[in-house]
Amino acid sequence: MSKPDFHRHRMRMAPDHPCGTVLIVHGYGEHIERYRPLGERMLAERWQVCGIDLPGHGQSGGRRGHIDAFPEYVEAIEASLGEIGSSSRPILLAQSMGALVALQVALKNQAELSGLILLSPFLRLRLPVPAWKVWLANHLSKSWPTFSLPTELSGSDMTRDPIAAASYDRDPLNNKKATARWFTETRSAQAQVFARANELRLPCLILHGNADPVADPRASEAFFAQIASVDKTLRMLPDMRHELLHELEPDRTRTLNDIVGWLDRHRPASPPS
């Protein structure tokens, strides 16, 4: 039985003479089309922009909210790197769980990348999880890995903007359940990334809202302190929640400008062929 086409839905924008490439990795339960406005802004700055729907997300194949093994996410992004080609060392720009994926990709492929932008990285859960849910996930991960429960995430966890929050809740491509195997695989991936943090040497920008109820901003601070990158920046953003690119104005535009400014300072010395 062949595997489903995990990344059949792609977003790709390319100017005539790109200065470099940005590969976007979306977060858990969402999809790459939510990053089209960001892509259009980067396109205007002459960046080639690429992204896919991760396995089990958006219009990609696979069971919603499930992964047999976390490396399947990593392999999907590595496949995208292969499609971009060796002439370009892209920057990974990743949100939430996508940042966890991006970090695992980076730790395996540092020579093939030129930088990381991590938005609200999901390095530790801040949202309280009842002890019975943790117990259930740990016990069912092997015996019934596809057993799922609601994440109980809502648009109001993502942003203070009521219009953006309502859009998140209405989006039929946003998944709001997670399986037992996804839970245990993700926790294992978080532990692995922390254990190898001092191996990371790439230029790195981390942006995190201090009011994020989903991904713990204190974990971003702890991770930032451990990485070996000489060129590294951490910005904790007052009052902002989980999805920085969907927050209230003027915070949303300020975050976008921070990203574009960092990209401008990290343009490749010679553009990709």
Q: What domains, with CATH codes, occur in the chain?
A: 10-127+186-265 (3.40.50.1820)
3-state helix, strand, coil in the chain (%, to 5): 40, 15, 40
Helix orientation angle between 131-143 and 180-195, rounded to the nearest 10 degrees = 100
**The length of the chain, given as a count of residues:** 273
- Residues 243-254 pLDDT 10s: 999 999 999 999
Q: Please give the chain's pLDDT, 273 residues, in tens.
A: 334 444 467 899 999 999 999 999 999 999 999 999 999 999 999 999 999 999 999 999 889 999 999 999 999 999 999 888 756 799 999 999 999 999 999 999 999 999 999 999 999 999 777 888 888 888 899 999 999 988 889 999 999 999 999 999 999 999 999 999 999 999 999 999 999 999 999 999 999 999 999 999 999 999 999 999 999 999 999 999 999 999 999 999 999 999 999 999 998 876 555
Q: Which residues of 122-157 are buried (b: 16+ CB within 10 A; e: fewer)?
A: bbbbeeeeeeeeeebbeebbeeebebbeebebebeb
The amino acid at 253: T
- Residues 152-194 pLDDT 10s: 899 999 999 999 999 999 999 999 999 999 999 999 999 999 9
CA 154 – CA 126 distance, rounded (Å):
15
